[in-house]
Amino acid sequence: MTTPPEVALAQTSLLRAMAAIAPGSVRIGCRVIRDADETHLLPEEARSLPARQPAMRCASGAARWIAHGLLAEFCVNDTAVLRAPSGAPVWPEGITGSLAHDNEMAVAAIAPVGRIASLGIDVEPALALPDDILALVATRADRTDAADRHLAGRILFSAKEAVYKAVYPLDREILGYEDIAVDLDAGHATTKTGRRVSLAYCVAPRVVVLAFVEQGAG
Ligand SMILES: CC(C)(COP(=O)(O)OP(=O)(O)OC[C@H]1O[C@@H](n2cnc3c(N)ncnc32)[C@H](O)[C@@H]1OP(=O)(O)O)[C@@H](O)C(=O)NCCC(=O)NCCS
């Protein structure tokens, strides 16, 4: 089946924006979620996902389709990216990475463990965050002055989710929004577990935040 031009354009534009923010050792990818993307799940991956709505399995399939392609760039082929009981993806030895999906787009990022000890990624539609959610997410410690005012709340939300995904595999601690202080202006965050996490984000055509813990940081 051929890909409609608007779908191809959405993917290409996001991939370009993500490539511009990713550190050198990080491989990233995105995919507009299509019907039947759950067929890209390897049998072990499908078994590792909890019973959930078909749309969620489709999104998880799209994210793993990207991950399989990125792993192949490291000559790691036919390797399942299982979902651990915690929800965290399980990567092959020596690789760290992260997956995310919103209603339309799936994204993934991986890197060899080295300068980067752990990665997190999040994707969100480029829409203002509703005020009631912002009230749950933002604290007085957060700094977002440099971000687009309309999207600052959404970027902050996405940054906290990406930070959580980056630090969970290291600390195994469930964090709330209040446990993560984000300084978008300086490009980093700190967690109540003492982690210092670097941040990079793009906003066009979707909000994508990459969070990475560097070796020896925190
Ligand atoms: C991790 C979490 C934030 C993901 O958010 P989400 O909006 O449900 O989903 P996203 O599309 O952004 O990300 C989904 C991916 O996150 C990854 N993920 C889930 N739990 C994870 C964890 N503990 N650590 C790292 N990555 C995790 C998985 O790869 C998942 O993909 P899959 O479902 O295809 O396997 C959420 O599931 C969670 O565990 N929340 C509890 C803690 C919390 O919400 N704290 C406040 C935010 S700081």
pLDDT at 218: 65
Cβ atoms of residues 213 and 195 within 8 Å: yes
Domains of the chain with bracketed CATH: 5-113 (3.90.470), 122-214 (no CATH)
Low-confidence ranges of the chain (pLDDT < 70): 1-2, 218
Q: Tell me the DSSP string of the chain.
A: -PPPHHHHHHHHHHHHHHHHHS-TT-EEEEEE--TTGGGGS-HHHHHHSPS--HHHHHHHHHHHHHHHHHHHHTT--S---EE-TTS-EEPPTTEEEEEEE-SSEEEEEEEESSSEEEEEEEEEESSPPPHHHHHHH--TT-B-TTS-TTTHHHHHHHHHHHHHHHHHHHH-----GGGEEEETTTTEEEETTS-EEEEEEE-SSEEEEEEEEETT--
Is 0.75 surpassed by the pTM of this model?
yes
What pLDDT digit, counting tens, does each position of 57-91 carry?
999 999 999 999 999 999 999 999 999 999 999 99
Output the CA–CA distances (angstroms, integers) from residue 144 to 63, 81, 139, 140, 164, in the order listed. Answer: 29, 34, 11, 11, 18
> 172 is written with which tokens?
């195994």
What pLDDT digit, counting tens, does each position of 3-29 carry?
778 888 989 999 999 999 999 999 999
Indicate whether residue 122 lines ligand 1 (CB < 6 A).
yes
The alpha carbon of 95 and the centre of ligand 1 are apart by a number of angstroms equal to: 19
The alpha carbon of 15 and the centre of ligand 1 are apart by a number of angstroms equal to: 21
The alpha carbon of 61 and the centre of ligand 1 are apart by a number of angstroms equal to: 15
Residue with the smallest CA separation from ligand 1 atom 1 is 165
Give me the torsion for CA of 53, 57, 59, 63, rounded to 10°. Answer: 160
pLDDT at 2: 67
Cβ atoms of residues 175 and 183 within 8 Å: no
d(CA 204, CA 12) in angstroms, rounded, equals 11
Residue with the smallest CA separation from ligand 1 atom 19 is 87
> 109 is written with which tokens?
């990022």
Q: Tell me the DSSP string of 43-91.
A: HHHHHHSPS--HHHHHHHHHHHHHHHHHHHHTT--S---EE-TTS-EEP
Indicate whether residue 15 lines ligand 1 (CB < 6 A).
no
Residue with the smallest CA separation from ligand 1 atom 2 is 161
Query: Which ligand 1 atom sits closest to the C-alpha of 63?
Result: 34
Query: Which ligand 1 atom sits closest to the C-alpha of 102?
Result: 11
Cβ atoms of residues 205 and 105 within 8 Å: no
Residue of 37, 165, 191, 213 to test ligand 1 pocket, by largest number of atoms within 8 Å of CB: 165
Query: Which ligand 1 atom sits closest to the C-alpha of 60?
Result: 34
